[in-house]
Amino acid sequence: MTAVFGDVWFAVLSKLSHYLPLDILQWSQKMPITSINPATNETLQTFTSLSKDESLNAVATAGEAYQSWRKTSFAERKKVLLAFATELRKRSDEFARLITLDMGKRISESRREIEYCAEISDFYANGAETFLADQPMEDVDANAYIRKEPIGVLLGVMPWNFPFYQVVRFAAPNIMAGNAVMLKHASSVPQCAQAIAELFDECGLPKGVYTNLFIPSEFVETVVADSRVQGVSLTGSEKAGAAVAALAGKNLKRSVLELGGNDPFIVLEDADIPKTAELAVKGRVVNAGQSCVASKRFIVVESVADEFLTAFKEGMSKLKIGDPMDEDTTLAPLSSEEAAVKLLQQVQSSIDAGATVLLGGDRPDCEGAYFNATILTDVTPDMPTFDQELFGPVATVYVVKDEAAAIELANRSSYGLGGSVYTKDIQRGQRVAEQIETGMMFVNQPTRSQAELPFGGVKNSGYGRELSSLGIQEFINKKLIHLGPKT
């Protein structure tokens, strides 16, 4: 790392948003990696980061493992991944509890996350051989085909907000493709990081095919620069993505970035308002609002704005803050005290600039990283939060004249991850969806992910796709095999 690039790298790290751990700079001093329960601020468990030599040894082990794993059959890989899915389901309560303890997710959502990881594992275990089958070259005068092969060791840099799902959606397809995976998880979810690695080991995955890396931030460049590492995938903030993309580009490595989002939730005048308001609450507070594809900007046509706001406020006000282990809790804490402080600063900056607080706008008087359900109106483009991602249970509502104005405002964003539109006319919803500049649009339902559907964005929300048959294609070599002319 040159002095100049190092300064830039650490400047970026010092300003990273919610996705990456806030204490990441301290890792240069080999500081402990600590799990803190955000509901109680209690320290749960502490781990130690790897030294530089240990990190390089891990890369060497992964490189050796790749040379063997790439030669295994789909049937051998499938056996391991199906066993992984089976164990996830059997031990769902155990793993869900780790998620809730590490980052505060409601226990019911944590169990659903584990089930979803099992679904993704099943999907790639059963589909990889078809997705990566040889592709004959047709309509050309050549006896040729495309062979899809693994490329090497891959590095994943993953966030805390879905500590099992984010890892599995990266690891499952690439393990099935024959690559070896190294995973640098967020430092705030170390119990989850270790549990995933241990489970792969228990399910028979050879040592080095999947590696959990408790590494300092400055070692990321060392790993990416290693010739055995051929690609890097990051889910995180746009600043983190820019830093990692620069590392990948400098070292001529492939990269996939899934970054932040500011998803529009467009309510047209012919929408079913009671149902739409109900979905708006669900879309905004999924994972306590800490999701890149949570609904964030609510853009409502003026003729139904009052009705929508009344119903939306009523739904948000009924959310119950409490212990995320309690099944009755409907609004969990944020992932950390630092995250709650940052969100309050963002909200207050909008209030100070003239935004109206329709609900909440502050934190409850209780222990833990909690934040009250909040609705802001009268947010204008000159306010600092207009084009920022608010990572928590904070909704901004915009009232517009008509459909055209809704589309224009939805596209007035540096982000382009997901979005949704609500109308009783499906064809109209499709027409509007096709005009929104995002990687994903949903009609009459908030943005969500599904193993069979591609996931990813445009603009500052990143590039590349995960999940579906497209997700397994990002880190493979599509090699042409030419056997001569047909004639």
Secondary structure (3-state) at 194: helix
Residue-level pLDDT at 296: 98
Alpha-carbon span 372 to 385, nearest angstrom = 18
Taking CA atoms, 457 is separated from 104, 232, 292, 347, 461, in Å, by 27, 17, 11, 26, 5
Residue-level pLDDT at 217: 75
pLDDT beyond 90 at 487: no
pLDDT band at 27 (very low <50, low <70, confident <90, very high): very low
Residue-level pLDDT at 312: 98
- The mean pLDDT value for 287-301 works out to 98
pLDDT band at 30 (very low <50, low <70, confident <90, very high): low
DSSP per position, 369-399: S----EEEE---TTSTTTTS---SSEEEEEE
pLDDT band at 208 (very low <50, low <70, confident <90, very high): very high
pLDDT tens-digit map of 334-366: 999 999 999 999 999 999 999 999 999 999 999
Residue-level pLDDT at 9: 40
Q: Which residue has the higher pLDDT, 80 or 2?
A: 80
pLDDT tens-digit map of 420-437: 999 999 999 999 999 999
Residue-level pLDDT at 301: 98
Residue-level pLDDT at 216: 76
Predicted TM-score (pTM) of this structure? 0.93
pLDDT beyond 80 at 6: no
pLDDT tens-digit map of 124-175: 999 999 999 999 999 999 999 999 999 999 999 999 999 999 999 999 999 9
pLDDT beyond 50 at 4: no
- Ramachandran bin of 399, using left for φ above 0, alpha for ψ from -120 to 50, beta for the remaining angles: beta
Residue 217: name the closest of 69, 12, 478 by CA. Answer: 12
Residue-level pLDDT at 85: 98
Residue-level pLDDT at 31: 67
Residue 218 half-sphere exposure toward CB, CA atoms < 13 A: 18
pLDDT band at 256 (very low <50, low <70, confident <90, very high): very high
Secondary structure (3-state) at 145: strand
Annotated catalytic residue: which of 113, 258, 389, 474?
258
Alpha-carbon span 308 to 461, nearest angstrom = 28
pLDDT band at 219 (very low <50, low <70, confident <90, very high): confident
Tokens of 458: 């445009």
Query: How far, rounded to the nearest angstrom, does the alpha carbon of residue 146 sit from its chain's CA centroid?
Result: 31
Tokens 């995938």 identify what position? 233
466 belongs to the catalytic site: no
Mean model confidence pLDDT for the chain: 93
What domains, with CATH codes, occur in the chain?
A: 32-259+464-481 (3.40.605.10), 264-450 (3.40.309.10)
Amino acid letter for position 485:
P
